[in-house]
Structure 1
Amino acid sequence: MRATTLWTALTLSTVLFAGQANAAKTTYANQTGQKTIGQETSAVTHIASGDWRVERHPEGQPGPQMQPGMNPYVAMDPYGQMMMPGMAAGYAPNGVSPAAYGMPMGPGYGMAGPGQPMMDPNVMPAGHLGGHGCQSCGGAGCQSCRGGHLGGLGNGCSACGGAGCGGCCGLTGGGVYCGFSRGIGNAWDLSAFGGRCAPRWADVVVDATFFIYEPGNNNIVLASQGGANNPVLDTDDVDFTNQGGVRMSLNRAFTPGGNLEFSYMGMGNWASQQGAYGNGNLFSPFSDFGTDPVGGYAETDGGDLMLYSSSNRFDSFELNYRRFFTSANCWWQSSWWVGIRYVRVDDDAVLNTQGSGGTLEYIVDADNDLFGVQWGTDSALKLTTRWTLSLFGEIGVYGNRATQESNINFGGINIQETTAQRRASMVLEAGFLSTFRIVPRGTLRAGYQIVYIDGVALGSDSFNFQTGGAVPLNTALAGRAANINDNGNALYHGPTVGFEYTW
């Protein structure tokens, strides 16, 4: 039932955020010379139209056919000058050329004289610093090569494998524009939304999470061997490993520079078990380890085996309004968001005892329902037009309704105890992320994330071993007050890897 409700909510959210086939993701210029780009057709419409087959002029007419072997991304004007995509033939070499792919052009902005290749304004010519870059290139286009100035020997072209400066490629550059700022492995930025100054955007984000769970509970001794001063099992003995989960975000443009974002995170389930073994000499906290009553209870004391099991899971749903900002040089981008969030934390604890004359099973199911508001921010550095590093964090204040339901089974008797309590809680989330755009609409992402929840009830904290020394055990447990402790905390952290898609 829980899984059905979850996937129904995700499906309805997807329909809500992706209802229109043509996503109206207008970007608005906020820097001098930056281009405002309007609505773009969907990927399906674009492919079906066949527009991707040819480069078109602003008037919508096909441009001149490329000769075999020519770079489809670099054209030549009548003066023999290299042109960027989107520039019309016959432009004024010293005038202002059209902005294409979000890159404004003008005098002094990557322009060169007739017959010379255009320069990327973000790439320093090789000869500028080393002083010998041009001579070493033999007139083959030194402006494009970054190798010469690094060693100071003017051998930038030879570092390109003899292919000439225009053929330089590698991890930090490619094509005729070699250089860290031009993007990895490709001379042209693949973004269709304004180049490096475009706001960071993705319609759908899906991450696989590999979190480990660390409970912040009160350590309680569960078994002692031969007396109270020799503990052999406690609630801190369980050890949780990394478990797979998912995080998904759906975004929809809402205001200029802002969007609505729905996110879900969860599906992880952590479980662990530890045991203590003896030879008729294990005692439990029900009898204060064999002292009250003396010798303990037949179901819990003087036994050979005690097992402790714990499991935990959490789910998070949030709806935020996010606002984007871009620095003057576009290499720094940031955003803040505010929204509402619901978090559910379920934590179970089970103690099994084998006493001298019977067995007992003690199950505690603690549930936490947190509703609240949160605020967050992030900051991203665009190392290239395709590679970004970012940090993010958010904090929220929540009202938590914590409940616990216990079942104690022994000798055919079942004792149930239930109680609930309300309190204020906090959720803190932070991490870092690296993203790399591999295709115009697809981006890979990987990072590390932590989620810290304070003020929750954990099953192990809500064990109640009070008996007052009464016998038999069913008499000692009958009519006592139910116990709940909601002062625990939960920490989830681990690596994440995923994919962003924009249509």
Structure 2
Amino acid sequence: MGRDARIALGMTAALICGLSTTASSAGPYPPLPYSTPQEAVTFGHGCDCLPLCESGCDQVFCDPAPRFTARVKFLYMRRDENSDPPILRNTATNQSALKGNDFDFGFDPGVDASLIAHLGGGNAIEGRFLWIDDWEATVFTPNPTPGELQLTSNPFSTGGFVDDFYSNYATKFQTAEVNYRQDCACHPVTMLIGFRWAEIDEDLQLNSLDATVPTFVDFDTRNDLFGGQIGLDAVLIDWGNFGLDGFFKTGIFANSSQGNARVQVGPDILGTASDRRVEPAILAEAGLEGVVWLTDRMKIRLGYQVMIAHGLSIAAEQVKTTGNLTPGGTNNVAWMSLDMSRPLFAHGGTAAFEVVW
């Protein structure tokens, strides 16, 4: 098409649109509330503009939806304490010397990255990956009298430990998901349905402070969750350049979990135990985010979100469900029955950068 033809087409479209704003409401589409392409949609928002783009006028001025939306979110979240399962007890007083809720987890960083491919007609496919390296906490447990500290297995461990203990507890979390979204910024709510995988690993280590013949006790669990989820994203407040968004996701999963336990003194392994099973679990997320549009294609988000999983094997809970690891001698194999009835709750602040194109 030559330059003169393009100019003529643009002038014709402008004339048609000018006439449409004064036409009666009997036309197939209502009068358009703008006269330039930049005013076609609210700042920073776009939609498929269907069926408006079916008219020649609207094809000139319609602002189509982006083809992709990419987001990188930085997390700073805290894992809440466990309940109070006993881990070590003082045999002289018959009181717990170390419990699961003695480990005070702090806030730790993570990253949450997602990419949405907009397919048109309000349909989109989303891929997302979230990773928090580990929440970690340490506790020092003094031994009042050598031989008085005992592992609270079932039955209690034979004999007692003679040293003070320095214990470390770590939890790692990562998840990936693929969702189908009914996604159009012309509407305040986006629905989604998809598949999600999550891995939650825990490691509880009790280390004696005797450098000559160290004692090492370890309980670790791994939770692999596979299942479907539903959710929604909602624009709660839209003030042009500023807004408030919310999201919620939940699903039912199959949790394939494995647990292991070990007691080692010096080079000798006194006892081990392990168990594996599959049980149902629930994983849910929710959050609120303030939105600031930097341009019509870039924005930042600041918010707070929570995550809860239920139906997990938590490392601290497995001590009481494990048999005597130290009955005498070495290389003993004890029983373990995984407790998979426990929750994990995390919450914290988020900051994200998002771009659409």
Provide closer, same or farther for how the CA distance between residues 376 and 199 of structure 1 changes in structure 2, counting only shifts above 3 A.
farther
Distance (whole Å) between structure 1 residues aligned to residue 4 and residue 86 of structure 2: 75
Provide closer, same or farther for how the CA distance between residues 219 and 340 of structure 1 changes in structure 2, counting only shifts above 3 A.
same
> For residue 57 of structure 2, what is the aligned residue in structure 1?
none
User: Do 1:223 and 1:284's aligned partners in 2 also have CA atoms closer than 8 Å?
Assistant: yes
**Aligned-residue offset at 1:93:** 10
The equivalences for 1:192-231 within 5 A come to 203-224=69-90, 226-229=92-95, 231=96
Query: Once the two structures are superposed, what CA deviation does each residue of 1:50-89 show, in whole Å capped at 9, x if it has no partner?
Result: xxxxxx999458x9xxxxxxxxxxxxxxxxxxxxxx9679
Alignment of 1:396 with 2:237, yes or no, is no
Structure-2-length-normalised TM-score? 0.78
Q: Which has the higher contact order (CA 8 A, sep 6+)?
A: 2
Q: Which runs of 5+ in 1 are unaligned?
A: 1-55, 64-85, 97-103, 112-120, 122-181, 184-188
Distance (whole Å) between structure 2 residues aligned to residue 340 and residue 461 of structure 1: 29
Counterpart residue type for residue 451 of structure 1: M
Alignment of 1:485 with 2:342, yes or no, is no
The equivalences for 1:271-350 within 5 A come to 271-280=136-145, 283-286=148-151, 296-297=159-160, 300=161, 303-324=162-183, 333-350=188-205
Distance (whole Å) between structure 1 residues aligned to residue 97 and residue 145 of structure 2: 14
From 409, 420, 428, the equivalent of 2:284 is 428
Counterpart residue type for residue 261 of structure 1: E
User: Do 1:192 and 1:440's aligned partners in 2 also have CA atoms closer than 8 Å?
Assistant: no
> For residue 155 of structure 1, what is the aligned residue in structure 2?
none
Provide closer, same or farther for how the CA distance between residues 461 and 378 of structure 1 changes in structure 2, counting only shifts above 3 A.
same
> For residue 352 of structure 1, what is the aligned residue in structure 2?
207
> For residue 233 of structure 1, what is the aligned residue in structure 2?
98
**Aligned-residue offset at 1:214:** 1.7
The equivalences for 1:409-448 within 5 A come to 409-414=264-269, 415-448=271-304
> For residue 463 of structure 1, what is the aligned residue in structure 2?
319
Provide closer, same or farther for how the CA distance between residues 304 and 406 of structure 1 changes in structure 2, counting only shifts above 3 A.
closer
> For residue 310 of structure 2, what is the aligned residue in structure 1?
454
The equivalences for 1:136-147 within 5 A come to none
Counterpart residue type for residue 334 of structure 2: R
Counterpart residue type for residue 225 of structure 2: L
User: Do 2:88 and 2:151's aligned partners in 1 also have CA atoms closer than 8 Å?
Assistant: no
Q: Secondary structure at the match of 1:482?
A: coil
Residues paired across the two proteins, number: 330
From 8, 22, 27, the equivalent of 1:95 is 22
User: Do 2:86 and 2:152's aligned partners in 1 also have CA atoms closer than 8 Å?
Assistant: no
> For residue 248 of structure 1, what is the aligned residue in structure 2?
113
Query: Once the two structures are superposed, what CA deviation does each residue of 1:294-341 show, in whole Å capped at 9, x if it has no partner?
Result: xx33xx1xx341222100011101000001367xxx6x6101110101
**Aligned-residue offset at 1:483:** 3.9
Over the residues paired in the alignment, what is the CA RMSD in angstroms?
3.9
> Is the radius of gyration larger for structure 1 or structure 2?
1
Provide closer, same or farther for how the CA distance between residues 502 and 60 of structure 1 changes in structure 2, counting only shifts above 3 A.
farther
Q: Which runs of 5+ in 2 are unaligned?
A: 24-29, 50-60
Provide closer, same or farther for how the CA distance between residues 370 and 92 of structure 1 changes in structure 2, counting only shifts above 3 A.
closer
Provide closer, same or farther for how the CA distance between residues 280 and 354 of structure 1 changes in structure 2, counting only shifts above 3 A.
farther
Provide closer, same or farther for how the CA distance between residues 375 and 292 of structure 1 changes in structure 2, counting only shifts above 3 A.
closer
Q: Secondary structure at the match of 2:183?
A: strand
> For residue 364 of structure 1, what is the aligned residue in structure 2?
219
Provide closer, same or farther for how the CA distance between residues 58 and 377 of structure 1 changes in structure 2, counting only shifts above 3 A.
farther
User: Do 1:447 and 1:497's aligned partners in 2 also have CA atoms closer than 8 Å?
Assistant: yes
Query: Once the two structures are superposed, what CA deviation does each residue of 1:72-113 show, in whole Å capped at 9, x if it has no partner?
Result: xxxxxxxxxxxxxx96799469725xxxxxxx855xx589xx
**Aligned-residue offset at 1:433:** 1.6
**Aligned-residue offset at 1:486:** 1.8
Higher strand fraction (1 or 2): 2
Structure-1-length-normalised TM-score? 0.57
Provide closer, same or farther for how the CA distance between residues 453 and 461 of structure 1 changes in structure 2, counting only shifts above 3 A.
same
Provide closer, same or farther for how the CA distance between residues 334 and 318 of structure 1 changes in structure 2, counting only shifts above 3 A.
same
**Aligned-residue offset at 1:235:** 1.9
Query: Once the two structures are superposed, what CA deviation does each residue of 1:432-478 show, in whole Å capped at 9, x if it has no partner?
Result: 122221112111111111111111112212225643995x3x36x72
